[in-house]
Amino acid sequence: MSLKKTIKTILNILPWQHDTKLQTKKINTYINDHKVKKIQFGCGPNELKGWLNTDIVKCFEGAVFFDITEKFLLPSNTVDFMTSEHLIEHIDFEQAKSFLSECLRTLKPKGVIRITTPDLKKLLNIYQTDNPSDKKYIDYICKNFITNAKFSKDVFVINNAFRNWGHQFLYDKETLISLLEEVGFDEIRQCSPGESLYEALYDVDSRNKGDLKEINDFEVMVFEAVKA
């Protein structure tokens, strides 16, 4: 991220972040007003109706400031469903462990978390590939996010995945499952983008729609896990 963009992001966050009373009030109001309590972390512009939509940047009026690297301003055993899309890769591994521990604490027994994140194995498989789907993905990323990939485009795309968008740690299937198990989650299940066994989590993925659907389906993995 450029210095200009970094400064702009910080200036956007600071006035919102410091209003702790408003943050707490919005969270408590949502909890008190909803029988089924659902939280979206890192909502971006994806406003889910009936959910507590949270982020560190104010993307729309109804969103609530929420730093997932801090202790949640939520009592234990409160939330029924949680979802995060393209978020966990933006914090380091130890922060992710703390984040998931807080998710486990604040979920009700049998509460469910859904995590959508880039699949490291899929990204590494594009290296020196002849697969048409892989090449289509490479061309898309180069066209939209990389300006200087005149050769070895697969190498540029792989490096970009690790260094761009504020990414800190990319997961493969085995690592994410192991982390969820270590934290204490149960019934860990991989599912397709947009698909879920739970009505509340069905079709909540914002990138599983429109022009981004094919690219999203190619690069991500989706897991749901249950609090015992």
Task: Check residue 77 and report its DSSP letter.
Answer: S
CATH number of the domain at 88, please.
Answer: 3.40.50.150
Lowest-confidence segment of 13-17, 38-42, 50-54, 175-179 by average pLDDT = 13-17
- List, for residues 176-226, the tens digit of each pLDDT value: 999 999 999 999 999 999 899 999 999 898 876 767 788 888 899 999 999
- List, for residues 44-84, the tens digit of each pLDDT value: 999 999 999 999 988 888 899 999 999 999 999 999 999 99
- List, for residues 79-123, the tens digit of each pLDDT value: 999 999 999 999 999 999 999 999 999 999 999 999 999 999 999
> Does 62 lie in the same domain as 27?
yes
| Greatest mean pLDDT among 7-16, 132-141, 211-220 | 132-141
Q: What average pLDDT score do residues 15-28 get?
A: 76
Note the pLDDT of residue 223: 98
What's the rounded Cα separation, in Å, for the pair 80 and 63?
19
Domain enclosing residue 157, as ranges: 120-168
> Does 8 lie in the same domain as 104?
yes
The structural domain count of the chain equals: 2
> Does 129 lie in the same domain as 113?
no
> Does 55 lie in the same domain as 9?
yes
In order, the DSSP letters of 8-69 are HHHHHHHHHHT-HHHHHHHHHHHHHH-SS-EEEES-TT---TTSEEEESS--STT-EE--TT
Q: Are 89 and 168 in contact (CB under 8 A)?
A: yes
215 falls within a domain: no
